Amino acid sequence: MSQSYSRRRMLQSMAAGFGSVSASGWFPGLAQALANDPNRRRHCILLWMSGGPSQTDTFDMKPNHENGGEFKEIQTAVPGLRFSEHLPKLAAMSDKLAIMRGLSTKEGDHGRGTYLMRTGYKPMGPIQYPCIGSSLANQLAEEKMTLPSNVSIGTYRAFNQDAFSPGFLGPRFGPLFVGASDVPGSVSNDDDGFPSLEVQSLRRAAGIDEQRMQQRLKIWQSLQSEFVSSRSAGAAGMHHEVYEGAVRLMHSDDAKAFDLSQEPKKLREAYGANVFGQGCLMARRLIQRGVPFVEVSLGTNSGGVGWDTHSDNFRAVADLSKTLDDGWGTLMQDLQDHGLLESTTILWMGEFGRTPAINPSAGRDHFPNAWTSVLAGGGIAGGQAYGKTSDDGTNVVDGKIGVQDLLSTLCSALGLGSAPSNMSPSGRPIPISEGSVIKEVLA
């Protein structure tokens, strides 16, 4: 081999070969026994709502006030707990939801709010904080996994790329993006009308057959083994680990987790023929195979960032709520049917809420002062609303919490304690969160 055929050149060629590497039900008694086992494997699903969903039109309605808007309340399965009329499936499963109505933050800009809620920290200073998915993957992942420990589906990152980064944890815990796009509505549909949520790194590039792929892999492994031998503890070692993981996944049976065509069409239709709904189905399949953290995003449509409803709020939120209710409601039932709900904690949130007051364009604007998130599933005492806002929805009058409190409660529900830490490259432990655990919502 010519000396001019460098490692750098080889890696560029290999990238083409890899594609775009970025790197049923159980018996109820058995499922319950596993759920109560303190050593059980735990999982987290983040349902991320880009743009900031309106709390006043979903989980904290104000029907007797002029700020209440057009939607009606419906009674849920829990006496006294009411949701929007556009969330009937979630209303039926309200006994498994804890509605956090007292959330209050100070970041009303999309980019800053996204970073704050996804990392727990304000976007300032020299530290590159990991997103919550990377932090939890670091805490929950097993040593040897074929599937990635952090998967993000339908992601819209245009507001703040750093808010989706593994930060100082490095690429090993970075998210594998599936069906991600910063161009709303750009994911195509398959022949059955479902969105094509493909993982490009599982396919060989066009024109590269299996024999040629294997030849490239042998050359790559030869070059890498020599280069990484003296750099295994640094960035080169982490980069090599990501590539090796991608190669293992390409040839693993676990890659079938991404193939939604294996699921019954009726179930796929129940989830909804959209990126969010099919992403929720993929999340169940990934959790079933041991992936500790999966994010599914709902925040884009053909017209833009869906939850950013500065105008025509009620039409948009009705459509978004239908997508949310079908996807999330079916996910909860599906996880329960597979004996996975008690070991899977779900967090629903966006970067902030929206103004209770309706603007002249029939919209609601950015509002971080008093808004709502939801915790559900494993470790959560559902069937309740924690916190209360004023009659007009503008202030928290009881149970006020911040993002650090929310994340500390999530960590506790996952069995990690109130302030688990990630280790920085300098050897300094940095807590994921240092808030107060809301014990009232923990099971």
- Cβ burial of 429 (10 Å; 0-12, 13-18, 19+) is exposed
CA 175 – CA 48 distance, rounded (Å)? 14
Q: Please provide residue 220's backbone torsions phi and psi, each rounded to the nearest 5 degrees.
A: -60, -45
What does the pLDDT read at residue 136?
97
Nearest Cα to Cα of residue 114 among 177, 178, 179, 51: 51
What does the pLDDT read at residue 418?
82
For 31-186, strand residue ranges (E) read 43-49, 73-75, 82-84, 97-103, 150-153, 176-178
- Cβ burial of 276 (10 Å; 0-12, 13-18, 19+) is buried
Nearest Cα to Cα of residue 246 among 166, 155, 148, 180: 148
376, 401 Cβ separation under 8 angstroms? no
CA 442 – CA 439 distance, rounded (Å)? 5
What does the pLDDT read at residue 6?
39
What does the pLDDT read at residue 231?
55
For 50-197, strand residue ranges (E) read 73-75, 82-84, 97-103, 150-153, 176-178
What does the pLDDT read at residue 144?
78
What does the pLDDT read at residue 35?
40
Q: Which residues make beta-bridge pairs with 429?
A: 423
> Running along the chain, 443 residues long, what does each successive block of 10 average in pLDDT?
38 40 36 45 94 98 96 97 98 98 97 98 90 96 88 93 95 89 66 82 64 68 62 52 60 85 96 96 97 93 78 96 98 97 98 98 98 98 98 98 97 92 90 95 96
What does the pLDDT read at residue 13?
42
What does the pLDDT read at residue 242?
54
Residues in the chain: 443
What does the pLDDT read at residue 25?
36
- Is residue 167 helix, strand or coil? helix
What does the pLDDT read at residue 258?
94
What does the pLDDT read at residue 19?
39
Q: What is the dihedral of CA 383, 389, 390, 395, to 10 degrees?
A: 180
